[in-house]
Amino acid sequence: MKLTVIGFWGGYPKRNGASSGYLLEHNGFQLLLDCGSGVLSKMQNILQPEELNAVLLSHYHPDHIADIGVLQHARLIQGLLGSGMTNLPIYGHHFNQTEFTKLTFKEVTKGVAYVPEEALTVGPFQVTFLKTNHPVPCYAMRISADGKTIVYTGDSSFKAEFIDFSKNADLLLCECNFYGHQDGKSAGHMTSTEAGKLAEQASVKQLILTHLPQYGHLPDLVSEASKEYSGIVALAEEFLTITL
């Protein structure tokens, strides 16, 4: 299983960047986790829109779905130009029916509602969900294939349930929108210190900090998380690739 970071900024993309978007690949299957602002432009450096096999969304805030419409039009145009085009499944929860309905577009994409209480199979991936602490319904994902596991927190303040949910994961892709001296609870986001504590208590093999703030000294997030977690910690960065 291979993870490639496409976008990693929280809230909005910093200049020339992209907000949340992560590409998972296994056995030739291409799964995009979230599709925020700037993701489609950046993704085309490594994968074309018509090559995607599925999209999986944590929630419907713009920094996680802003490029869904752009992706739909890219696939529509490529289909008109003669590229073989399937009806791309976009998996999302149904607790915001207005946004869920937008996932279906002509014969280009089709919204598919996941049931958070049930496991989901997407290509070679097995996915389970955990509702997060965020101002809107949002779901963390535990994604496994061939004995390897990635946990993606989506957006959330810290909650104790994350520990069991992330237990022994090969990689924790953890949101980190705040520095250690801040309090992200009311905004529904985690701090670097909380991300480190989660990684340590869940005994994950490595920690990638993502959904990063546009201010401050980002390497401080790593040093703060490392005070709580004894394993490998790194910042998400554009086109960072990790193969498990």
Listing DSSP states for 34-70 in one string gives: ---TTHHHHHTTT--GGG--EEE-S---HHHHTTHHH
* pLDDT for the residue numbered 10: 98
* pLDDT for the residue numbered 184: 92
On whether the CB atoms of residues 8 and 236 are closer than 8 A, the answer is yes
Other Cβ atoms closer than 10 A to 46: 14
> Which class does domain 2-243 fall in?
alpha beta
Per DSSP, 184 falls in state -
Per DSSP, 157 falls in state B
* pLDDT for the residue numbered 38: 98
* pLDDT for the residue numbered 13: 97
* pLDDT for the residue numbered 170: 98
Enumerate residues 6+ apart whose C-beta is below 8 A from 215.
none
* pLDDT for the residue numbered 161: 98
Predicted TM-score of the model (pTM): 0.97
Query: Both tokens of residue 88?
Result: 């791309």
* pLDDT for the residue numbered 201: 98
* pLDDT for the residue numbered 85: 82
pLDDT mean by block of 10 residues, the chain; 244 residues: 98 97 98 98 96 98 98 95 90 97 97 98 98 98 98 98 98 98 96 98 98 98 98 98 98
Gap between the Cα atoms of 191 and 169, Å rounded? 20
- CA-based torsion, 44, 48, 53, 55: positive or negative: positive
Gap between the Cα atoms of 232 and 10, Å rounded? 22
* pLDDT for the residue numbered 86: 87
Gap between the Cα atoms of 227 and 236, Å rounded? 18
Enumerate residues 6+ apart whose C-beta is below 8 A from 181.
none
